Amino acid sequence: MDKNLHLDSVIKTHQITKEEQLLNKHKEKNKEVKEALEKNYGDSIYSPFNSGSYAKNTAMNTKFDFDMVSPFKRNAFGSKGTLKEMFEDVYDFLYEKYNDVATVRKQKVSVGIEFHSNGDGDIVKIDVVPGRELNQDQYSDDENLNLYVYYKYGNYDAGSERIKTNVQAQIKNIKDRATNEKESIRKIIRLLKVWKNTKYNYPTKSFFLELITIKAFDNKAITGNLWSKLETVLEYIRDEVTKDGFTLKDPGNSSNDLIDSLTESERETLSYDMKNMLERIEDNDENIKTYFPENAKFVEEEKADNKYENKGNGFYSAPPKNERFG
């Protein structure tokens, strides 16, 4: 099999545009929430903007949500207002507004709104991340924000009042790459996210995978076809992630090291998983299919028809090849 063709198909079948209806619904709701926030908070809020995978163009259609940063002015909740008060206020507002049509809940640093499906199975999910500028009018200069940590987030304990971040810097981290490299980086990130989704509760965040991919591109000569590039990144993760002194600095806050979001044993496991993956794909190309599965929903019809040719069909009494024994 051709590993590159397969990986191309993995990316293609996971493109967010494939889920046009769902994407449009998200865009609509996103606009509605943005406008509601702006209307409610008026002069106290800067323009909310999309962050997360959609903004970074690394989104996938199998795990769909929109993240929206909602940047508040320093005195939006009074000159002595706390970040907690900001978080609670945004929650109260969104709860009041959407409780009838959605499940609104407090999450690690955001308020999640999961709109009820309208019978068509489509679920729209928008996470609103309230942030506040550090000083009056400073946001316009450097786009730094403080977030409130509602529930333990990485190294930040619940109730922490100061998680400084710069979401715009995080987004630009990918967007500002040279164009040809940028596309490769996005593809690798998408593939790693596809792989992560084959695992149950894998501890690496998407943001972690983004940063480590970019770091691999910064530190290794990543060339050749898509598989060759992916292979180099996998090797980089395998070799580096367990090393002492390995860091993954958050471009939005250099004191936030994403490597700390994994325990020692999780780092070992991540390295071990990369090692196994590389070895098994080396053993047999076909193994790539289960590490990086296509989204079966969008595998082209004709391709799907041919997929199990001479494999799944029992011919008279001979059991088919997928017959397992025991």
Partner 1 sequence: MDARLNKIQQIISELNGISIESPFSSDFDSTIVGKIKVSIVDSNETLIFDVKIFLEYPLKKFDTESITFFNTDFLEYGHVMGNGSICIHTSHNIDLKKKIEIDINSLKRWIVKYYLNKENDNHYEHIILQPKEFNNIHFSYLFTEVDYSFNKNQFGFFEYSKIIDGLYFDKTISNHIVQNFKDQFSKTITECKWSNHIKQLANRNIGLYVFLDNPPTRKKKFIISNWEDLEGLVTQDLFKFLDNIQKRSQKIKGNPIPLLIGYKISELEIHWQASILEIGKFPIESYKENQIWKGRFIDKDIIWSFTRNCSYDYFFGRGKLADKITKNKILIIGIGAIGSIVAKTLTRCGCTSIDIVDFDIKEPENVCRSEYSFLTGLCNKVDELSNELFRISPFVEIGIIDFRLFHNYSKVLNKSNDAKKILQKSLDCYDLIIDCSTDNDLLYILNQLDLKRLITLSITNNAKDLVCSVEPKSYDWVINQFENILENDLEDIHNPTGCWSPTFKASYNDINTLVQFAIKHLNLRFLDESIALRNFVLKTEDENGFNIKLNEF
Residues that bind partner 1 (CB under 8 A): 198-200, 264-265, 268-269, 272-273, 276-277, 279-280, 283-284, 286-287, 289-291, 293, 308, 311-312, 316-326
Closest CA to 260 of 241, 283, 233: 241
For the bound state, the minimum distance from the C-beta of residue 294 to partner 1, rounded and expressed in Å, comes to 10
Which of residues 259 and 278 has its CB atom nearest to partner 1 in the complex?
A: 278
For the bound state, the minimum distance from the C-beta of residue 275 to partner 1, rounded and expressed in Å, comes to 9
For the bound state, the minimum distance from the C-beta of residue 120 to partner 1, rounded and expressed in Å, comes to 17
Give the whole-angstrom CA distance, residue 152 versus residue 133: 22
Q: Are strands 102-106 and 66-72 parallel, antiparallel or unpaired?
A: unpaired
Which of residues 38 and 266 has its CB atom nearest to partner 1 in the complex?
A: 266
Q: Are strands 49-51 and 253-257 parallel, antiparallel or unpaired?
A: unpaired
Query: What angle, 0 to 180 degrees and rounded to 10, lies between the N-to-C axes of helices 83-98 and 20-41?
Result: 120
Write the single-letter amino acid at 28: E
Cβ(68)–Cβ(51) below 8 Å:
yes
For the bound state, the minimum distance from the C-beta of residue 195 to partner 1, rounded and expressed in Å, comes to 12
Closest CA to 132 of 170, 84, 176, 92: 84
Which of residues 18 and 280 has its CB atom nearest to partner 1 in the complex?
A: 280
Which of residues 143 and 294 has its CB atom nearest to partner 1 in the complex?
A: 294
For the bound state, the minimum distance from the C-beta of residue 308 to partner 1, rounded and expressed in Å, comes to 7
Cβ(253)–Cβ(164) below 8 Å:
yes
For the bound state, the minimum distance from the C-beta of residue 204 to partner 1, rounded and expressed in Å, comes to 12
Which of residues 49 and 298 has its CB atom nearest to partner 1 in the complex?
A: 298
What are the Cα distances from residue 135, in Å, to 30, 88, 197, 314? 28, 20, 39, 71
């980089």: which residue's tokens? 236
Provide the token pair at 266.
């999780």
For the bound state, the minimum distance from the C-beta of residue 14 to partner 1, rounded and expressed in Å, comes to 15
What are the Cα distances from residue 197, in Å, to 122, 129, 285? 19, 23, 20
Which of residues 49 and 202 has its CB atom nearest to partner 1 in the complex?
A: 202
Q: From the centroid of its chain, how far is CA 256?
A: 18
For the bound state, the minimum distance from the C-beta of residue 237 to partner 1, rounded and expressed in Å, comes to 15
Partners of 72 in the β-ladder = 45, 132
Give the whole-angstrom CA distance, residue 75 versus residue 55: 28
Which of residues 47 and 198 has its CB atom nearest to partner 1 in the complex?
A: 198
Closest CA to 148 of 88, 199, 98, 83: 83
Which of residues 9 and 184 has its CB atom nearest to partner 1 in the complex?
A: 9
